[in-house]
Amino acid sequence: MKKTVFATNNPNKLREVQQMLTDIELTTPAECGITEDIPETSDTIEGNSRQKALYIHERLGVNCFADDTGLEVYALGGAPGVHSARYAGEAKRNDDNIALLLKNLEGESDRRARFRTVITLIWNGTEHQFEGVVEGRITTERHGEGGFGYDPVFVPEGYDITFAEMDAQSKNAISHRGRAVAALVSFLNNVEK
Ligand code: IMP
């Protein structure tokens, strides 16, 4: 059977998902000759994830999937949301994004937020979407060295430490991406190959 394309350039993400799949082999757009940045111009997380999956499917005609993630802060009307990576500018610097987020939440008592990941899978020409959500709150200062992105300021519900203070395994077990990937993997491990 042909390999399934995961529309990511992140080798950690690829490895993480591949480890959970029993009989499906994954590959990347780059290995299939798609080296340009895949456009993400939608104004929703669902839209971006779908846009990336369709981009691959239109060019390669193979089974493929793509993910997109955003941090949605309740007091900010869901921002940064789909703009999470570029919140503080095109440079996509995590540190600047966190600084802007903390500034925009200064004096705000409602610190509730959630991470949301949407994966779009195109399997034998049919689209499927899988969502993963983790609720939590934004701290007033950075804590921890692990993880990436907004991890140093996000405390998941039921915990009193940030994602950046957790080991990767504990984070993956409850995270937005971990949950979306679990739903994808459960589908792929049961679908007719
Ligand atoms: P992407 O869709 O996975 O590229 O994620 C978009 C942006 O959301 C990233 O640039 C990060 O800033 C943020 N993000 C995604 N996943 C996480 C996470 O697990 N922890 C913290 N930030 C994240």
pLDDT tens for 26-65 read: 999 999 999 999 999 999 999 999 999 999 999 999 999 9
Query: 120, 50 in Cβ contact below 8 A?
Result: yes
What pLDDT score does 7 carry? 97
Radius of gyration of the chain (CA): 17
Q: Is the previous residue joined to 80 through a cis bond, with omega within 30 degrees of 0?
A: yes
Residue 106 CA to ligand 1 centre (angstroms): 22
Cα torsion 178, 114, 12, 183: sign:
positive
Cα–ligand 1 centroid distance for 149 (angstroms): 5
Q: Whose CA is nearest to atom 13 of ligand 1?
A: 149
Closest ligand 1 atom, residue 97 Cα: 12
Active site residues: 68
What is the number of H-type helices and E-type strands within the chain?
A: 5, 7
Pocket test for ligand 1, best of 48, 87, 150 (most atoms within 8 A of CB): 150
Question: First vs last Cα of the chain: how many Å apart?
Answer: 8
Pocket of ligand 1 (CB under 6 A): 68-71, 84-85, 94, 97, 147-151, 163, 175, 177
**d(C-alpha 149, C-alpha 94), whole Å:** 5
pTM over 0.85: yes
Residue spans of the chain under pLDDT 50:
none
The pLDDT value given to residue 1: 74
